[in-house]
Structure 1
Amino acid sequence: MTTFVPSQNSAIAVTNALLTTSPPHVSLDEALCVMRSHFGGAQEIKALSGERDRNFMVRSDAGRCLTLKFINHAESTAEIAMQVAVLKHFAEHHFEREVPVHIPSSLTSQDWLDIKLSDGAVRVRAYSYLDGSPGSQLKAEPEVWRDIGRATAQLTCAMQPFTHVGAHRPFLWDVTQLPLLKPMLSVIEQPALHDAVQRFMQRFEQQIQPLIQTLPQQVIHNDLSPSNMLSCAEGRRVVGVLDFGDMVYAPRIAELAVAASYQMSRGENPLAVLDAVMAGYGEILELTEQERTAVVDLVMARLVQRIVITSWRAAQFPANSTYILRSRSEAEALFKQLMTFWEPSRTGAEQR
């Protein structure tokens, strides 16, 4: 595999160290000690999966379940503060689905702690653990896709008043910053796919990026994948939203495009899935004509991100490659399928 290694002075290395730094090394015993010292006694502890941080589920002596997050060393103070602030925001603003509740230290009342462990200093924070079925259990049905659209719009409404300086950051997972990935395209080994992605990125930079900058903007969750949603037991409704670590200030319609991009490969007709998600969204928030025009472009942009970034990160962290690459093949197949009509439609628009 051809591996892209960013130089120390590149924008990718400077602004996205978070995606290239391994999670902190924390043992179960160390996590248990931190829990008992700062958040109360513990009856049970287990490690959770994660790409950037080291996470544990802990059941306290009082029976409360919480997530103990040992934060990636590259995450800035502004980014940590933003993730704490948004959970506090939800405590005061209505949202129809569940989100975690921020839990400060019971010893010091601090929002996060600086802890010294055997592998060095690390920051840690805690929030309630939401129990439920994973979003991957949501059924591939039109009414479920509409509910995902409704949940996305409700989340957009709930987050609309939220602002934070940490959201204004260069970030590889921000679809509006897709051109940042151009130096990384060497990770795509298939020539035909490489050329198709390159053509898309060129048109994105020339035609799409200027348009989306004019759309309504706000802080968005930016990663409504099945991994970050909880399903009811029957698989017919989104009951919770997790992990606000990818928040950015971006066009609000990008939230819908990202959510839809993870669902569109689950139906025989990807565009019918997109229509269902958009229909549910439209029950809560009216889409402007410009937003409707941009949705497919932003879906395609997220698919390119999933192809390029996951390939790059899997090469850097082979021990975690199965988790990192869990949706790459799906994204690749959907991108190829959508390109068959997207490219001719864009070419036709240019000629008119």
Structure 2
Amino acid sequence: MDPCAVSRINRRNVLDVAGLTALHTKRLDQMSASAALAISSSSAHYPGQVLAEANPDAERLGQAGEMLGLIDVALSEFTHPADRRGLAWDIRHFHQLTELVEHTPSPEHRRLAQSVFRLFGENVVPRLGGLETQVIHGDFSPYNVVVDPRTDHFVTGVIDFGDTVRSAVIFDPAVPMANLLGRTPEQPWRDACAFAADFQRERPIQVSELPLLPIAALARLTLRALITNWRAEHAPDRREYLLGHAKDDWINVELALAVSLNDVITHLREAPQGQSSRASSKQSAVFTRNRIGASSWPFPRCSSGRSTSRSTATAR
């Protein structure tokens, strides 16, 4: 698949999705009677700031997760002639992009990518045909969510439906989870799980598919780093800038791989059954690094070679 084949959807498709979402206004307003979801291709028309600039705590991340859950509920029956288009950013194609590793200059980063490709290939790929699918937003990143911290409902708008596609439901929350990995370096999965827990309160993930969610998040973050490296090779004038962003992603992949996935899944399974992630996020023990091998896990374990402390949330 051509790595350049990203974000290709025409204006009519975007408007169709917006119209469909508008039909579900009541579902989207469940979080607050005054909450209004704004759908557009730009944040300039809506009050507030993008989520990436708001430094949200677990409660606010949970509210963002709830909103994505409500959007997926609204989109559950939506169809469009273009919704099955090929898109390199669609996580379901991740295993077809192994050649991107060749464009990654660091041997350590290539090793990390190969570890994630192995996890995805052995556990997600065999089940791709049976995963629950629907039209999803596809890019619910911190730069595509408009928020107003002064309001109770927090989320004031969701923008950029350019990556909207029919894909597995678990791949939608995997995108924001990828952006949140490593945000707290000593507990690299904490914020990602806070988001996912409240997403599930509105749009439950099938029990059998939940163990694949953290692998999908790792795949998305790895994909972003790989595509950024590829772009750096093809844009020499921006090489250092792009490689700097990719380096941050590789740090967060390494941090996330250093945690027992068994602990991550345990937390994801337990949080929706009781209180929301706003309360359960305090259970920090399950997010501690360097616990590989602490408990049995059906997926291959991948240890990281060293520890780091830097994290970031970049665009995409």
TM-score, reference length from structure 1: 0.64
Question: Matched residues in 1 for 2:252 and 2:190: separation?
Answer: 13
Equivalent residue letter for 2:16: A
Task: Report the Cα distance in structure 2 between the residues aligned to 1:271 and 1:332, rounded to whole angstroms.
Answer: 15
Cα distance in 2, alignment partners of residues 164 and 136 from structure 1: 31
Q: Distance in 2 between matches of 1:155 and 1:254?
A: 14
1:241 is matched with which residue: 158, 161, 168?
A: 158
Q: Would you say the 8 A contact 2:47–2:147 is kept in 1? A: no
State the match for 1:47 in structure 2. none
- Partner of 1:239, secondary structure, is strand
Measured at CA, do residues 101 and 299 of structure 1 come closer, stay the same or move farther in structure 2, by a change above 3 Å? Answer: closer
* Alignment partner, residue 223 of structure 1: 139
**Alignment partner, residue 61 of structure 1:** none
* 2:211 corresponds to 1:293: yes
2:182–2:255 Cα contact (<8 Å) kept: no
- Secondary structure at the aligned position of 1:165 is classed as coil
2:5–2:87 Cα contact (<8 Å) kept: no
**Offset, 1:326:** 8.0
Q: CA deviation at 1:17?
A: 4.6
Count of residue correspondences = 259
What's the counterpart of residue 7 of structure 1? none
Deviates more, 1:288-297 or 1:320-329: 320-329
2:50 aligned residue (102, 126, 134): 134
Change (3 A) 1:256 1:151: same
Structure number with the higher strand fraction is: 1
Contact 1:188/1:308 (<8 A) preserved: yes
Deviation string 1:75-95 (CA, Å, 9 cap, x unpaired) is 4xx644322311222232223
* Greater gyration radius: 1
**1:250 maps onto 2:167 in alignment:** yes
Instruction: Give the alignment of 1:53-68 within 5 angstroms.
Output: none
Q: Which whole-Å CA distance do the structure 1 matches of 2:169 and 2:198 have between them?
A: 15
2:122 maps to 206
Mapping of residues 70-219 of structure 1, within 5 Å? 75=8, 79-94=10-25, 95-96=28-29, 97-100=36-39, 129-219=45-135
Q: Distance in 2 between matches of 1:147 and 1:319?
A: 40
Query: In 2, distance between residues paired with 1:322 and 1:189?
Result: 12
**How many angstroms does 1:320 deviate by?**
6.5
After TM superposition, give the deviation of residue 98 of structure 1 in Å: 2.2
CA contact (8 A) 1:307 1:331 kept: yes
C-alpha distance in structure 2 between counterparts of 1:225 and 1:264, whole Å: 12
- List per-residue Cα deviations over 1:94-145 (Å, max 9, x = no partner): 234523369xxxxxxxxxxxxxxxxxxxxxxx99833431221233411112
Q: Tell me how far apart the structure 2 counterparts of residues 239 and 326 of structure 1 sit (CA, whole Å).
A: 31
Within 1, Cα distance between the matches of 2:84 and 2:222?
22
Name which of 264, 279, 284 aligns with 2:181. 264
Question: When the two structures are superposed, what TM-score results if normalisation uses the length of structure 2?
Answer: 0.71
User: Does 126-135 or 212-221 show the bigger shift?
Assistant: 126-135
In 1, the alpha carbon distance for the partners of 2:50 and 2:43 equals: 18
What SS class does the counterpart of residue 130 from structure 2 fall into?
A: coil
**What amino acid does structure 2 have at the position aligned with 1:284?**
E
Structure 1 residues 132 and 322, CA gap change in structure 2 (3 angstroms)? farther
Give percent identity, aligned residues only.
22
Does the 8 A contact of 1:149 with 1:281 survive in 2? Answer: yes
Which protein has greater RCO, CA pairs closer than 8 Å, 6+ apart? 2
- In structure 2, the residue matched to 1:303 is 221
Residues 18, 209 of structure 1: alpha-carbon distance in 2 compared, 3 angstrom cutoff: closer
1:218–1:252 contact (8 Å) kept in structure 2? yes
C-alpha change, 1:350 and 1:152, in structure 2 (3 Å) is closer
Q: Structure 1 residues 209 and 101 mapped into 2: Cα distance closer, same or farther (>3 Å)?
A: same
Structure-2 separation of matches of 1:206 and 1:128: 43
CA distance in 2, matches of 1:83, 1:160: 16
Runs of 5+ in structure 2 lacking a partner?
Answer: 30-35, 262-291, 301-316
SS of the equivalent of 1:303 reads helix
Q: Over aligned residues, Cα RMSD in angstroms? A: 3.1
- Aligned residue type for 2:39: P
| 2:192 paired residue number | 274
AA aligned opposite 1:261: A
Counterpart CA distance in 2 for 1:310 and 1:89 is 33
Partners of 1:141 and 1:132 in 2: CA distance? 17
Q: Which runs of 5+ in 1 are unaligned?
A: 1-10, 20-51, 53-74, 103-125
Aligned partners of 1:293 and 1:146: how far apart in 2?
Answer: 20
